Structure 1
Amino acid sequence: MRKKLIVGNWKMNGSLAANAELLAALKAGFDAAQADLALCAPAPYLLQLQAALQGSGIAWGAQDVSAHEGGAYTGEVSAAMLRDCGCRYVIVGHSERRQYHHESDDLVALKAQRALAAGLTPIVCVGETLPDREAGRTEFVVKRQLSAVIHAVGHCCSEIVVAYEPVWAIGTGLSASAAQAQAVHAVLRAQLRAATGQAERNRILYGGSMNAANAAELLRQPDVDGGLIGGASLKAASFLSIAAAGLAVLQTN
C-alpha cells in the first residue's frame, strides 16, 4: 500500500498571525513516517509558508494557477511564479473553481499542463454533484473530467495527483461512505491505467469532508491514497490526527 498523502486546502482563510501559530504547531507535531503532508494556501501567504516550512518535511502549494505562462493578465498567478515561491503542488479544477468561476474541463486540463511544465505537481480535482449521483452519472462525470487532463498532458499523466471530491460532500458535513469512495477511486485508477499502462505512481485522494472521525475508514480503502482536507486542515490537532490515521492504516496492512 502506498504511503498516504494528506493535503490541506485552506481555501480563503488565514492571516499572518493565525498562520504562524498553525504552522508552528504542525511542525512540532509532524511525523514524516505517518504520511506525506502538504498545505495549499492563498497566494499572499505562499512566501510565509516557504519561510516557515523549508526543511520541515512539509510541502506547500497553491490553490489555483493561471492557464497563461505570463503577460497582460492582471490578477493571475503563473506556474513559474508559484515555483519561485517554492511550491511543489497546485490544486486545479476544484469544484468551487468549476462552479463559481465556470472553469471548463479543457481549462482545467490546460492549467494542469502549465503546472507540469513548470515542475509542479497538479492535484486534479474531479467530482459529481448530487443530481449527477442521483441520476447514476457519477462515473460518466468523473471520467469525462479526468479524460480532458489525460488527453492534454499525455505521457506526463503519471506525474499528476487526482482528488475525488463529491461536490455534495464538500463543506456540508456529509461524506461519501468508504465503499462509495472506493468505488469511484477504483474507476479513476482503471482509467489512469488504461491511459498509461500503469497507475501505481498516481495517488488518488479523497476530498469530501474527510476528518479525524472518518479518516481511518476512508484511508483503509485500497485505492484511497490520502485526503484533500478543507476545514480540518485549519486546526493542527485535527490535521495531524488524519496524518496519524494514515500511518495506522499502513501498519495494519
Structure 2
Amino acid sequence: MSHRPYIVGNWKMNGSRAMLAEARAIDRAAGRYPDVQVAIAPPFTLIGALREAVSAMGVGGQDCHTEVKGAHTGDVSAAMLVDTGADFAILGHSERRKDHGENDALVKAKAEAALTAGLDIIVCVGETLDQRDAGKAEAVVSSQVDGSLPSPETAAEAVAAGKVAVAYEPVWAIGTGRVAAVEDVVTMHAAIRARLVALYGESGSKVRILYGGSVNSGNAAELLAADGVGGALVGGASLTAEAFLPIVAAAGTGEA
C-alpha cells in the first residue's frame, strides 16, 4: 500500500458544506482507481462532515498542535483531528512556515505528536526562489528534511508501515502557475531520498515523496511519471472534482 501513488488535495482556507458535493464526486471516482491512494485535507470545520460523506478516500487536517490539549486558543491537537475523523495531517506547509513563523523544530514536534495520536503524516519542505537562484535549493531542502522529519526512535514503525510521506513544494511554484522543470524535480526528489535513507535506513526508501506546486490536469501526467515522484499534493486544482479527477486519473493510468 505504501507504494501506491498518493494524490492529496489541500483545500487550505477554502470550503463550505456546499462543497461536500464536490468531495462526494471525487470519492466516487476514487473508488474506480484502487491503485491510487486519494485524500483531501479540508478546513478543520469540514473534517467531520467530509469523513461522513466519503468512503473511498482519506480525510486529513492541515496542521496540528504539539500538545494533546491545553490553553492554546484557536489551535487544534492531533487527538482532536482523530476524534473528528481525520486519518492524516499535513505539517510544515510553506504557508505555515511563512505566515506563522514555523521552523523545522516545531514542524518535527508536530509530526511526532501526530504520529503519537495515530495519524499518518505528510511533512512539507521546499525552497524559495531566492534560495534556488543562489544555488542553495538542495542544501536548504535537505536541511529541512533533517530538521522536520520525526526522529527514527519515534517514527521507525510508522515509516516502515508507510505512514510517513514528504511533500516537496518549491515555494515559488505554490499557487503561482509556475511549475518546476521535471529534471529539477527528479534531482530534488533524489536528494530528499538520500536524506530519508540517512535518517531511517532501508525503510527510508519506502517513504513516498510527493510533488506540489501548481499541479493540474495539464502537467500531472509528466510530473507523476518522473523518477522518484510518489504522488502529488494539490492545492487549487483539488477544489472541484472536474479539476482534481484528471490528476487522480493520471496517477492511475499514466495519462491525464
Q: Does the pair score TM above 0.5?
A: yes
State the distance in 1 between where 2:7 and 2:142 align.
23
1:9 corresponding residue in structure 2: 10
How far residue 153 of structure 1 moved from its aligned partner, in angstroms, is 5.1
Q: 1:144 to 1:38 in 2, by over 3 A?
A: same
Q: Which amino acid aligns with 2:112?
A: Q
- How many residues matched? 247
Matched, 1:248 2:248: no
Q: Which amino acid aligns with 1:12?
A: M
Matched, 1:22 2:22: yes
Q: Output one character per residue of 1:24-45: Cα deviation in whole Å (capped at 9) or x when no partner.
A: 2112322232511000011011
How far residue 130 of structure 1 moved from its aligned partner, in angstroms, is 0.1
Q: Which amino acid aligns with 2:122?
A: I
SS at match of 2:210: strand
SS at match of 1:213: coil
Matched, 1:222 2:221: no
How far residue 155 of structure 1 moved from its aligned partner, in angstroms, is 5.2
On the 8 A contact 1:40/1:60 being kept in 2, the answer is yes
On the 8 A contact 1:34/1:244 being kept in 2, the answer is no
State the distance in 2 between where 1:151 and 1:40 align.
21
2:131 corresponding residue in structure 1: 132
On the 8 A contact 2:174/2:212 being kept in 1, the answer is yes
SS at match of 2:205: coil
Matched, 1:166 2:170: yes
1:195 corresponding residue in structure 2: 199
Matched, 1:74 2:73: yes
Q: Which amino acid aligns with 1:185?
A: H
State the distance in 2 between where 1:104 and 1:13 align.
25
The TM-score with structure 2 as length reference comes to 0.92
How far residue 136 of structure 1 moved from its aligned partner, in angstroms, is 0.6
On the 8 A contact 2:124/2:169 being kept in 1, the answer is yes
SS at match of 1:12: coil
On the 8 A contact 1:128/1:167 being kept in 2, the answer is yes
Matched, 1:208 2:213: yes
How far residue 112 of structure 1 moved from its aligned partner, in angstroms, is 0.3
On the 8 A contact 2:61/2:86 being kept in 1, the answer is yes
The TM-score with structure 1 as length reference comes to 0.93
State the distance in 2 between where 1:144 and 1:28 align.
39
Unaligned runs of 5+ in 2: none
State the distance in 2 between where 1:187 and 1:71 align.
38
On the 8 A contact 1:5/1:37 being kept in 2, the answer is yes
Q: Output one character per residue of 1:91-141: Cα deviation in whole Å (capped at 9) or x when no partner.
A: 100000000111011001100010000011111000000000000111111
State the distance in 2 between where 1:120 and 1:37 align.
16
In the TM superposition, structure 1's runs of 4+ consecutive aligned residues that sit over 4 Å from their partners are none
2:122 corresponding residue in structure 1: 123
SS at match of 1:197: helix
SS at match of 2:206: coil
SS at match of 2:246: helix
Unaligned runs of 5+ in 1: none
On the 8 A contact 1:155/1:196 being kept in 2, the answer is no
SS at match of 2:40: strand
How far residue 149 of structure 1 moved from its aligned partner, in angstroms, is 2.9
Q: Which amino acid aligns with 1:58?
A: M
State the distance in 1 between where 2:79 and 2:126 align.
28
How far residue 186 of structure 1 moved from its aligned partner, in angstroms, is 0.7
On the 8 A contact 1:93/1:124 being kept in 2, the answer is yes
How far residue 245 of structure 1 moved from its aligned partner, in angstroms, is 0.4
Q: 1:76 to 1:151 in 2, by over 3 A?
A: closer
SS at match of 1:47: helix
2:46 corresponding residue in structure 1: 45
State the distance in 2 between where 1:7 and 1:151 align.
21
